[in-house]
Amino acid sequence: MSFAEFLPQLLPILILLGLVLAVIGALRRILLWRQGQESTIHWAGLFSIPQRYLVDLHHVVASDKYISNTHVATAGGFVLTALLVILIYLFDVATNILNYALLASSGLMFVGAVFVLMRRINPPPNLSLGPWSRLPYSLLIFSSSFFVLTLPASGLLPIDSGSWLLAILLVVGIIWGVGEMFFGLTWGGPMKHAFAGALHLGLHRRQDRFGGGRSTGLISIDLEKDKLGVEKPEDFKWSQLLSFDACVECGRCEKACPAFAAGQPLNPKKIIQDMVVGMAGGNTAKFAGSAYPGVELGSHKGGAVIPIVDVLLEANTLWSCTTCRACVQECPMMIEHVDAIVDMRRFETMEKGKTPGKGAEVLDNLNTTDNPNGHAPSSRMNWAADQNLAVFGSDVDRADVLLWIGDAAFDMRNQRTLRAMITLLRAAKVDFAVLGDCECDSGDLARRLGDEATFQRLAKTNIATMSQFEFKHIVTADPHAFHCLKNEYADFGGHYDVYHHTGFFADLVKNGKIKLNTNNAISLTYHDPCYLGRYNGEYDAPRYLLEAMGINVKEMERSKSKSRCCGGGGGAAVTDIPGKQRIPDMRMDDANSTGAEIVAVACPGCSQMLEGVVEPRPQVKDIAELMLDALCEEVV
């Protein structure tokens, strides 16, 4: 028997074996996911997988052109090659066109794989090693084996060219290639990302994220349940377990994470990989990427029914997160890190009562005084004693605009912003009123600290208060309140037309209601607040306002969707997990490197965090304050 006869007999067996094992692996993996809790299955999403891959996923990947092109070549080549291999060698449908197509596709995959390999010559620290370093070789072997195998069949080489040596090499190559690409696809190799990733794209828990949509509000939970939040991996929704399996360990999240950069014990990539360990069982020693800063690798283990905190990861890892969403924005696989972290925080806070730092005190204050610092609720309007504001309920019952003050009312720094806003609104002759002492904290802080109960109480109280009055819009200077009112109150019956003050003022300037002086030659950079930018997509209005004042914004390297958090989100300023440096200091370094003399902000949290950086540093000013300086007073 020559190898020309031997190979065609062996090949179908090998391919069939690979496929059968892949199917068994897939079923096994699905059983792992099914350990999770029930949640809606969006079957229709499965039909959108190709579109979501090509549009939504590639939109994220394309921020790095090198890898997006490489991935198109490799993945496209692989999918085509795999289909053709099955057609030709398993079902024996051998036409010349198919053979040439297989040559082309495996060639394409080979070229892609070469670029994958080049990427890994000096891999950046965010890439995982281990099995992921093996992958480019597997890709090369898979593509080259089928390329060489198909050469004689296509007639480009005589049928019996080569020798037994080549045949053995081919067999080894095909076993390796099929092993990695078919078997590994569902049995936990690096190629798992293709299988789980495709399903995750289709069955994603937040279907609204696709097709240009946005879904950033935290998902509420039923407070009557026997267990609140996530204690063990099996307490996640099955769709979340699936999403963890989609991770490609590219480490873009790690590069974007402010807590990781500050040396706090958090690495979003590792959290997701730890969840995979938790779901499948095992220990964390095999992880081949960067550890949580300050935490030794491999000292933890997990299982689906083993509690996560203190066994699989340390509580401080969860509490380091600023919920800035940079990881979610960067993730090409659309994994929702923040959802998972908040789910675990909910258990820590609502079942164990272990919110670290000042967390417990702040939550107590929210419950007894409706503001995080425990000020008297009756002193909420003290800051505006000289402002003569119309108050809903006591002065008016309807107004065009409900001005949401937020907890800036108790903070002398941010009262300056509020005063500026009021002068501007009056200059534009806007009919507005405030809730006065009836306003409560929006619940943002409580919710991010995992206290869903307090959030829901505050949300329901605020909704009940607002339902008594008539207004068209809500305007607020606080992006956190903006986000809650706009995206998170809807679950409890609060549907409002909410503006952040920059968006509202931008409209007023466009309509000529506010006239701004245009000769402001200020050297200025703008810091995008997470909850305005990444959470709500508002990057343009603040920049429009700054340009309307004649200011040429010196953009930081990390700006717009890549903006770095100030360190104050998600209760991180309250839990205060130690790291090597402070996040606001890093952000101020970003600002310093532009040479700007002023950092414009649009969030009371950001102004507090950035003003906490020691001088000398650029001045921190809210856009409303800058606008007040540039306001053209009409002479009466």
Query: Could you tell me which residues are beta bridge partners of residue 399?
Result: 471
Q: Does 451 bind other proteins (CB under 8 A)?
A: yes
Determine the residue type at 64: D
Query: Counting contacts by CB under 8 A, is residue 560 touching other proteins?
Result: no
Binding pattern for the stretch 159-178 against other proteins, x by CB under 8 A and - elsewhere? --------------------
- End-to-end C-alpha distance for the chain, whole angstroms: 105
Q: Among candidates 285, 311, 292, 298, which has minimal Cα distance to 231?
A: 311
Return the residue of 5, 208, 364, 431 that touches other proteins, per CB under 8 A: 364
Contact of 432 with 402, CB cutoff 8 Å: yes
Q: Which stretch binds other proteins (CB under 8 A): 417-425, 451-459, 465-473, 517-525?
A: 451-459
Check residue 315 for interaction with other proteins (CB under 8 A). Answer: no
Cα distance between residue 332 and residue 330, in whole Å:
6
Helix, strand, coil percentages, rounded to 5, for the chain: 55, 5, 40
Contact status: 358 vs other proteins (CB under 8 A): no
Site string for other proteins, 224-263 (x = CB under 8 A): x--xx-----------------------------------
Q: Which amino acid is at 115?
A: F
Q: How far is the CB of 429 from other proteins (least distance, A)?
A: 36
391 - beta bridge partners? 434
Q: Does position 552 bind other proteins by CB under 8 A?
A: no
- Residue 361 or 507 with smaller CB distance to other proteins: 361
- Residue written as token pair 């290639």: 177
353 in contact with other proteins (CB under 8 A): yes
Taking the C-alpha atoms of 234, 239, 245 and 247 in order, what is their torsion angle to the nearest 10 degrees? -130
State the sign of the Cα–Cα–Cα–Cα dihedral 209, 460, 363, 582.
positive
Which amino acid, 134? Answer: R
Residues 195-224, mask of contacts with other proteins (x by CB under 8 A): ----------------------------xx
Min CB(573)–other proteins separation in Å: 18
Residue choice 70, 349, 476, 575 for contact with other proteins (CB under 8 A): 349
If we measure between CA atoms, which residue out of 318, 324, 340, 619 comes closest to residue 479?
324
With contacts defined by CB under 8 A, name the span among 129-137, 331-339, 356-364, 394-402 that binds other proteins: 356-364
Q: Which residues pair with 525 in a beta bridge?
A: 599
Q: Is 407 in the site for other proteins (CB under 8 A)?
A: no
> Phi/psi of residue 20, each to 5°?
-65, -45
Q: Is 359 in the site for other proteins (CB under 8 A)?
A: yes
454, 382 Cβ separation under 8 angstroms:
no
| Complex with other proteins: residue 222 or 615, whichever CB lies closer | 222
Other beta carbons less than 10 A from residue 118's beta carbon: 12
Q: Which stretch binds other proteins (CB under 8 A): 27-35, 115-123, 316-324, 449-457?
A: 449-457
SS3 category, 576:
coil
Q: What is the DSSP string of 464-488?
A: HHHTTSEEEEEEES-HHHHHIIIII
Q: Which of 128, 150, 329, 355 binds other proteins (CB under 8 A)?
A: 355
Binding status of residue 382 toward other proteins by CB under 8 A: no
Identify which of residues 92 and 224 has a Cβ nearer to other proteins in the complex: 224
# binding residues, other proteins (CB under 8 A)? 29
Is residue 438 close enough to count as binding other proteins by CB under 8 A?
no
- Residue 354 or 562: which CB sits closer to other proteins? 354
Chain centroid to CA 165: 50
Q: Which of 120, 301, 354, 460 binds other proteins (CB under 8 A)?
A: 354
Q: Which residues bind other proteins (CB under 8 A)?
A: 223-224, 227-228, 349-355, 359-360, 363-364, 367-370, 374-379, 451-454
